[in-house]
A and B are shown apart, each in its own frame.
Chain A
Amino acid sequence: MTQQLTVLSSPEADAGGGVPQVISSLPVSLHPTDGAGSDLVAVAGTPGWTEKALESIEAGARGVMVIRPSAADVTALRDRAEASGVPVVLDTEWAHNPAVAAAAPRFAAVNDENSLLEARVNAPVGVDVDQVLLAQLALIRAAVDPVVSLSHARRNRHGYDALAHLASGARASLSAILSDALPSSATLRIIKPRDAVTLAVPASETAAPGRVTVSGPDGATLLPTQWESAHRAAWRRLHALAEAGEACEDLSSFAADVAIVTGGRPEAAGGRG
């Protein structure tokens, strides 16, 4: 039987992660609380989030959800979380959309050293570009493979274009376009000579489904759509981990992606801005 866990959130986390709406959609699993000693804690990913998450673990939280984490050194938090077996789940913009997990085995079938992954995100004007790139890297990691190297061809207030390699040896083209004319969304695509896999993911707060299309000589198949927001899927995951008393790899992956973002900046690589 599902164990109901209490959730302590903050106005900042509520605003960024729609925490009350998620809790109301998981009434058997989650219950809001205002007091100390909550099972799960939601932390907004604004600067200083690692300290807040650390404090939550030290206060006895069984799990922590970080909403849209900004770049940060997570070493101390990761060590503490691992030592205490507390899962810290990072709720980035796209990675938890259920379509991502559905796409993963399809991408695995076309991910090799001759492949080219096209990755594009649309994000609103004025967002933190590093944060957008981190969310894109988390998406690519979840759907295809970790990015192991990256260099910017261009980065400015309108977005970026970057070239990258995946762990498989595949090349990748990463782009972000900042505009208020387009809804926040992300796409991934690998086109092989005869086959192609495409993933389109909407913003994290909507339950509109991500779409996975697999094309081959016999036609194109749209995988079954799952009408669940990325936020809700992230909370289901955290609940399952906390209930099982299992930690997770989110912080280690995030640390690797932060290193990629920092190393790939034009000023770090001596590239063009």
Chain B
Amino acid sequence: METKTSSTLGVGILGAGPVTQAIHLPTLSRLRDVFHVAKIMDVDPAIAESVAGRVGAAWTTSMEDLLADERVQIVVVCSPHQFHAQQVIAACRAGKQAVLCEKPFAMSQAEAEQIAAVSQETGVPIIVGAMHTFDPGWLAAKEHWGDLVETTHTIRYSIVLPPNPRFEDFATEVITRPESPRQDRRDPDVAAGMVRGGIMGLAIHDLPLVRAFCPDFTDLEVLSCQVPDPSGYLLNLRVGERNVQVFGINTQSWEPEWTFEAISNTASLRIDFTPSYVQAGSATATISRGGKSEVYGPYLANGYESEWRYLADLARGKAAPVDVTGLIHDLTFALEIADTASAAVRATTSTKEASL
């Protein structure tokens, strides 16, 4: 049973699927001195009741009911992507202290601009659950990479992703999971859907990191796009003057890999992230230049924990809000890549293979 006191912040969660069960509740259990879960909403009453019961929270099937509850001070949006914008806006209008929205925080630029306007009008701060942007390994690298943002010419971002349940099951006991049927990547529509879904569902995690190294992020060209077997994406991009490769593959393997690299003529940054879901500490960042390498991390806290601690500071007015314009730019960048790459794959996928 969660301890509920007036000194901790009440959290309301919209959507009680695997992300809530395996990420946010375990993270919040590490931060009991700061938060308590006040209420959980899910359209499926059995799931809402069961998940809420784990933490001694109230439950509901109604977003309006959760937002009207004064015990809820912070709202977390973990619903399917298409509901994110409307729920974030509703939470702002309900006068909550802060909103955490799982990525992507909208599915179009218009939605993102609406959110920004409402956030500004209501003064409710919003953060997006791009946990790697809060990862202590990334933040340490940021402090020490010097002029790498200006001098980087090549960026590599690669994810080898085993099935999520391998990690969810170490984080919690999940009671419901979405179905993910095997699809034929040689079908043009399927290939296009895989690429778009892969970018907006997986690559989007670290596209803000990529954008941080691409000052001319609106000058974007998809040079090639392929769909690896059985699913994923392999993109070569030109972003301004930067050469960017974004790779993700879904496997049945046990062996995860999640890396980000930024390379200039004289320096390189490599970050190895820990898998999602598990509380396995931070990323490890390595900066190499002049024959020397500096290693930062791993630190005990991961990006999830850091993101929640920041959220607490935001709610209590101890931290400056995230620039919503930056969040919009992150989203616009991801959408542009997703739309262009998926259209290219649809146009060029033959019955033999999915490639541009």
Contacts and interface: CB of A to CB of B under 8 A. Distances in A.
A130 to B, nearest CB: 18
A219 B255 CA distance: 8
B224 A161 contact: yes
Interface string A248-273: 00000000000000000000000010
A32 B141 CA distance: 50
A171 B355 contact: yes
Q: Among B156, B226, B228, which residue has the most Cβ atoms of chain A within 10 A?
A: B228
A206 to B, nearest CB: 14
Which are the 3 A-B pairs with shortest beta-carbon distances?
Answer: A153-B223, A153-B224, A181-B268
Contacts of B247: 118
Interface string B288-305: 110000000000000000
B260 to A, nearest CB: 14
A193 interface: yes
Contact of A154 (B230, B238, B249, B355): B238
A194 B223 contact: no
Contacts of A179: 154, 263-266, 268
B153 interface: yes
A171 B252 CA distance: 20
Interface in B255-311: 255, 263-268, 288-289
A195 to B, nearest CB: 7
A128 B241 CA distance: 21
A28 interface: no
A180 interface: yes
A159 B243 contact: yes
Q: Among B153, B156, B288, which residue has the most Cβ atoms of chain A within 10 A?
A: B153
B97 interface: no
B263 A182 contact: yes
A161 B255 contact: no
Contacts of B228: 116, 191
Interface string B324-356: 000000000000000000000000000001010
Contact of A196 (B224, B229, B238, B253): B253
30 contacts: A115-B229, A116-B226, A116-B228, A116-B234, A153-B236, A154-B236, A156-B243, A158-B154, A159-B154, A161-B236, A161-B243, A171-B353, A171-B355, A173-B226, A177-B156, A177-B263, A179-B263, A181-B265, A181-B268, A191-B251, A192-B229, A192-B251, A193-B229, A193-B230, A193-B253, A194-B251, A196-B251, A217-B253, A220-B255, A272-B221
A74 B110 CA distance: 60
B288 to A, nearest CB: 5
Interface string A172-205: 0101011111100000000111111000000000
Contacts of A161: 223-224, 236, 243, 245
Interface of A: 114-116, 118, 125, 153-154, 156, 158-159, 161, 163, 171, 173, 175, 177-182, 191-196, 215, 217, 219-220, 272
Contacts of B243: 154, 156, 158-159, 161
A178 B355 CA distance: 26
B272 to A, nearest CB: 15
A180 B245 contact: no
Contacts of B238: 154, 272
Contacts of A153: 223-224, 236
Given A116-B234, A161-B236, A194 B252 contact: yes
B154 to A, nearest CB: 5
Contacts of B154: 158-159, 177, 179
Contacts of B236: 153-154, 161, 173
Contacts of B224: 153, 161, 163
B140 interface: no
A105 to B, nearest CB: 20
A267 B195 CA distance: 29
B153 A158 contact: yes
